[in-house]
């Protein structure tokens, strides 16, 4: 068990996170399931990495440029992670 009891918010460096996730070749947009491109294209086109706070642990999600505009107006495909919630 960790001795750390404080809930400090860790600053998320989007560029570093995109580099790390792009290196796996497995990232997809949370809302539309679009495949994450290579790191240069992801940074240039405006992909975002967002923190989602949970009860026990925080998670990060990828959001493509298209879904950043109006994610509430998009219908998530059945196979996307957002549709599984």
Res. 76 pLDDT band, cuts 50 70 90: low
Q: Residue 29: how many CB atoms within 10 A of its CB?
A: 25
Which residue(s) pair with 48 in the sheet? 63
Q: Which among 83, 76, 82, 21 is positioned nearest to 49, based on CA atoms?
A: 21
- pTM over the 0.75 mark: no
Q: Residue 84: how many CB atoms within 10 A of its CB?
A: 8
How do residues 4-35 score in pLDDT, each as one tens digit? 555 566 677 888 989 999 999 889 999 999 99
How do residues 28-72 score in pLDDT, each as one tens digit? 999 999 999 999 999 999 999 988 877 676 688 999 999 987 645
Domain boundaries defined on the chain: 14-68
């Amino acid at each position: 068990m960790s001795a750390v009891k404080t809930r400090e918010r860790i600053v998320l460096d989007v560029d570093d996170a995109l580099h790390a996730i792009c290196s796996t070749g497995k990232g997809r947009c949370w809302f539309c399931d679009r495949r994450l491109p290579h790191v240069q294209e992801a940074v240039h086109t405006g992909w975002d990495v967002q923190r989602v706070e949970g009860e026990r642990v925080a998670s990060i999600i990828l959001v493509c440029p298209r879904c950043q505009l109006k994610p509430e107006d998009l219908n998530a495909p059945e196979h996307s992670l957002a549709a599984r919630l």
